[in-house]
Amino acid sequence: MEIQLRPPHHRVERRAVGLWTARALALVLPVVLVLGTAATIWPGSRTWTLPLLVAAAVLGALYAAVMPSWRYAVHRWEVTDEAVYAAAGWFVREWRIAPLSRIQTVDTVRGPMDQLLNLSTLVVTTASSSGAVTIRGLAPGVAREAADRLNTSTQLTPGDAT
């Protein structure tokens, strides 16, 4: 049976937008705070810190406002009896297919922010140099159900996962 590249059917949870927004702000805010502090503490540095501060604040706000919704529009996933399909990215899009016969491990991960937003990540490790197929932004029950389904299906699938 040949597996074709195709768009996966399922969206991630809408709450993933909040997670991606929080991560974007965690990246941008320290830069803005350092530049703002430098401009305040060293008045002579304002000729170069203020333009950088304005640029970082504007570009950071744009990034935090646009990127999460864009990623949500792109991220898709699906688990079938033949493979795991995933589409991800916000600027560079990546489509991945992992045939069940190539799956080595299936894990669910819930970091502190995931737990706060009631989200989970499904990590499907394969015998591939591209690494694991990672599906972020799933409801914990959905991730657990997908992991259980993959565990059951891979045990019934012939192949050596190499």
Q: pLDDT (tens digit, 9 = 90+) per residue, 36-80?
A: 999 999 888 889 999 999 999 999 999 999 999 999 999 999 998
**What six digits make up the tokens of 65?**
């406002």
Q: Give yes or no: residues 25 and 81 share one domain.
A: no
Torsion of CA 161, 92, 67, 96, to 10 degrees: -20
pTM of full prediction above 0.85: no
Cα-flanking dihedrals φ and ψ of residue 157, to 5°?
-95, 125
Q: Give yes or no: residues 89 and 120 share one domain.
A: yes
Report the DSSP beta bridge partners of residue 88: 94
10 located within any domain: no
138/101 Cα distance (integer angstroms): 24
140 close to 134: Cβ distance less than 8 angstroms: no
Domain that holds residue 96: 76-156
- Domain count for the chain, please give it: 2
93 located within any domain: yes
Q: Give yes or no: residues 42 and 85 share one domain.
A: no
Q: Give yes or no: residues 87 and 141 share one domain.
A: yes
